[in-house]
């Protein structure tokens, strides 16, 4: 996410410039006004553990476990239904700015799109055949 990428360099601290990259718009939405102000005005380092606790990142991983965790995630995504994952990302990205009615309409449309994918058909077949699905990522 854009805001998370720039936390260490917020607002050009130290050179009296406000970074024109949207941090001031999105950071308070992510962590609240008090935390956003503290990060921006004090320019203190933010640990991975604190970023996780604040919901800025999904998970903090110790350095010695990083590669194993990355490999595990890669294996998961390599075998996942990528069309469906992409549709989920579209729904989540839109949710922050959509009202409920608009979001429900979008999710209905995305569900229809997912239901037409070969991966959906493969998922159904695999479920009924009691086996692991083999997804292709085709539309």
pLDDT above 70: residue 21:
no
Query: For 33-82, how does the pLDDT look when each residue is reduced to its tens digit (9 = 90+)?
Result: 999 888 888 878 888 999 999 988 889 999 999 999 999 999 999 999 99
Give the domain range for residue 98: 61-139
Q: Give yes or no: residues 67 and 53 share one domain.
A: no
On whether both 39 and 92 belong to a single domain, the answer is no
pLDDT at 15: 52
Question: Could you tell me which residues come within 8 angstroms of residue 72 by beta carbon, excluding any fewer than 6 positions away?
Answer: none
Same domain, 44 and 68: no
Specify the pLDDT at position 73: 95
Q: What pLDDT score was predicted for residue 6?
A: 47
- Its pTM stands at 0.71
């Amino acid at each position: 996410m854009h805001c998370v990428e720039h936390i260490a360099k917020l607002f050009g601290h130290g050179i009296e410039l406000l970074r024109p990259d949207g941090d001031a718009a999105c950071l308070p939405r992510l962590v609240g006004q008090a935390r956003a102000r503290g990060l921006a005005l004090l320019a203190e380092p933010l640990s991975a553990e604190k970023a996780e606790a604040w919901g800025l990142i999904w998970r903090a991983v110790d350095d010695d476990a990083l590669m194993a965790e990355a490999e595990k995630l890669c294996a998961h995504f390599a075998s996942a239904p990528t069309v469906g994952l992409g549709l989920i990302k579209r729904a989540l990205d839109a949710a922050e700015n959509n009202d409920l009615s608009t979001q429900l309409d979008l999710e209905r449309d995305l569900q229809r799109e997912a239901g037409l994918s070969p991966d959906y058909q493969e998922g159904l077949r695999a479920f009924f055949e009691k086996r692991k699905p083999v997804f292709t990522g085709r539309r």
